[in-house]
Amino acid sequence: MVGLIEVLSGPVWEAAPRLLGATLKWGQQSLCLTELEAYDGECDPGSHAYRGPTDRNRVMFGPPGHLYVYLSYGMHHCANISCGPEGKAAGVLMRAGVLGDGSFVTGPGRLGKALELTRSDNGQDLTRQIILATREESYSCGPRVGLRRASERPWRFWITDHPSVSRYVPAKPTH
């Protein structure tokens, strides 16, 4: 059986689908991951790490299995799980899931709110909080949501037909 660190140490586009169905234990919550997006650091114009390390994105360059929390649109805390070998930035954005009480969280902002994530959680080690699933469900992939650059990469992964999955909305071009 493949372990979590081995999964997270590989290419991000391979790690993301392997995390579908995994359970994240966070405080008193548990969350089954149903939708994720892969971001390949300095090779990916859609990634926060595209232009290299900063104080904000440094976690994505660290060892795999750590939480990268950022504020989106000045109001939503969103979170990635760092992937790849240390020194090479990559992350898997958690987009949707099912909480332990059976309720759905759709979208990365709602997921962050449900888990009560804040920037102070940035860098937390998740290697003991993520339990990989033996996947029996099929999964789908397609373009990432809401990106202006590199959105066409089929690096959004979801459990096929799961009701918690976000509706696809392509980014609007800027003028």
**Local structure of 119: helix, strand or coil:** helix
Q: Residue 166: what are its φ and ψ, rounded to 5°?
A: -65, 150
**Local structure of 25: helix, strand or coil:** strand
Classify residue 117: in a domain, yes or no: yes
Classify residue 171: in a domain, yes or no: no
Classify residue 149: in a domain, yes or no: yes
Domain range spanning residue 47? 4-159
Higher pLDDT residue, 99 or 42?
Answer: 99
**Overall average pLDDT of the 74-97 stretch:** 92
Classify residue 31: in a domain, yes or no: yes
Q: CATH number for the domain including 10?
A: 3.10.300.10
First-to-last alpha carbon distance for the chain, in angstroms, is 50
What's the confidence (pLDDT) of residue 19? 95
What's the confidence (pLDDT) of residue 175? 45
Rounded Cα gap, residues 97 and 102, in angstroms: 10
Classify residue 173: in a domain, yes or no: no
- Whether the per-residue pLDDT at 89 is higher than 90: the answer is yes
Cα→Cα distances 94→13, 153, 173, Å? 14, 17, 24
Classify residue 165: in a domain, yes or no: no
Q: How many domains in the chain?
A: 1
Find the range with the poorest average confidence among 79-83, 85-89, 133-137.
Answer: 133-137
What's the confidence (pLDDT) of residue 49? 79
**Mean pLDDT of the chain, nearest integer:** 87
Q: Where are the alpha helices (DSSP H) in the chain?
A: 4-9, 12-19, 108-114
pLDDT band, residue 150 (cuts 50/70/90) = low
